[in-house]
Copies of this chain bind each other. A is one copy, B any other.
Amino acid sequence: MTDPAPFTFDTLPTPALLLDEARMMRNIARMDTRAARLGVTLRPHLKTAKSVEAARRLTGGTPGPITVSTLAEAEAFHAAGFADILYAVGIAPQKLERVQALRTHGCDLKVILDNEAQARAVAQAGVPALIEIDSDGHRGGLRPEDPALVRIGQILNERACLLGVLTHAGESYGVRGAAAHAEFAEQERAAAVAAAEALRRARLPCAVVSVGSTPTAHAARDLTSVTELRAGVYMFFDLVMAGIDVCTVDDIALSVLTTVIGHQPAKGWTMIDAGWMALSRDRGTAAQEVDQGYGLVCDETGRILPGLIVSGTNQEHGTVSLRSGEDGPVPDLPVGARLRILPNHACATAAQHHRYTVLPVDGGSLQSWPRFGGW
């Protein structure tokens, strides 16, 4: 799956998605250490990576437990040897046929759900499931005290399909600092454990108690009674994570290489060949203390050019300028110069590309790792 890229760094066509493998390995090791110290199984979420090579590095070289966001991911990772897979988006009954096909071929694929209609369909299909718990009002899931929890557990248990409970503190992205993230981590733990206890009180099994998000996974102090931890974007990190102090900008392993194609000197604009098609439309830092526009600008070696952001995008054009409020000077960026743009949101930016061009740990020649998409 990994091939030498057909280009050297100097001849790489732009825009291109760059992956700094050394940073990625450092980010992976940091999370592995945390999971080990917290005494839980790490089940990395591969919705960010969508790459078999990246997945192997996440699980220590051999296939381990993983989380996916689409059945296309489940199929691709199963074909690459991963067998313990959690599909962590509420199951649509129409998708159960594909789930069953994977299970028939030896994939231990599990699904999640939060309502009785799903539970009946899943039980009928005989697919193991986790019940989604709402720990922070973010999205789906049942509150642990909701009487529907036990009813759903019973429906699943009648067909021996009840594996456990799962929660995700999506709201943790909205607060800054380890102390605030630790509170969300405790909220995740408390909600998931309360739900597990409610099921057990009703004499239902609950083997798995699964929690996690990148901010809470990095900040959790105690995961007593939790069995597994999920997180995804930690392998790459991005400006949104840096903006809430989960990482520094030096940890960001992903960037978009781009070329200067022109200037509007009167406006202080430098035009580049990376627009929203290469960077994504994600404006995740817009609500943070420092708005990074469509990304932070570095030179081609990755050194940050202070104050410069991608302030605007069209489909294949980006506009680089000083962040509002910053004083000049704008560095000389002639036509043909290349820049690296650090992304707001690694999941969204990576999704715009078909491959990673990997700057390998050992500093050798570029590698090319295919990415997949679709559903």
Contacts and interface: CB of A to CB of B under 8 A. Distances in A.
Interface of A: 11, 13-16, 47, 69-71, 89-95, 98, 113-115, 117-118, 121, 134, 139-140, 170, 259-264, 271, 273, 276-278, 280-283, 314-317, 319, 334-336, 347-348, 351-354, 373-375
A335 B281 contact: no
A218 B134 CA distance: 49
A271 B115 CA distance: 12
B347 A115 contact: no
B13 A117 contact: no
A94 B14 contact: yes
Given A14-B92, A140-B317, 20 more contacts: A14-B375, A89-B261, A89-B273, A89-B317, A90-B261, A92-B259, A92-B260, A92-B273, A92-B335, A93-B335, A93-B336, A113-B262, A115-B262, A115-B263, A117-B336, A134-B264, A139-B319, A140-B261, A140-B262, A354-B374
28 contacts: A11-B94, A13-B94, A13-B375, A14-B92, A14-B94, A47-B316, A69-B315, A69-B316, A70-B277, A89-B316, A90-B262, A90-B271, A90-B317, A92-B259, A92-B261, A92-B273, A94-B259, A94-B336, A113-B262, A139-B271, A139-B314, A140-B271, A170-B314, A278-B375, A281-B348, A283-B283, A351-B352, A354-B373
Contacts of A277: 69-70, 351, 373
A334 B71 CA distance: 22
A261 B118 contact: yes
A317 B139 contact: yes
A91 B262 CA distance: 9
A238 B242 CA distance: 34
Contacts of A335: 92-93, 115, 117-118
A302 to B, nearest CB: 19
A98 to B, nearest CB: 7
B282 A140 contact: no
Nearest to A348: B281
A316 B93 contact: no
A115 to B, nearest CB: 5
Most buried by B among A69, A134, A263, A375: A375
Most buried by B among A89, A91, A278: A89
Contacts of A373: 277, 352, 354
A287 to B, nearest CB: 13
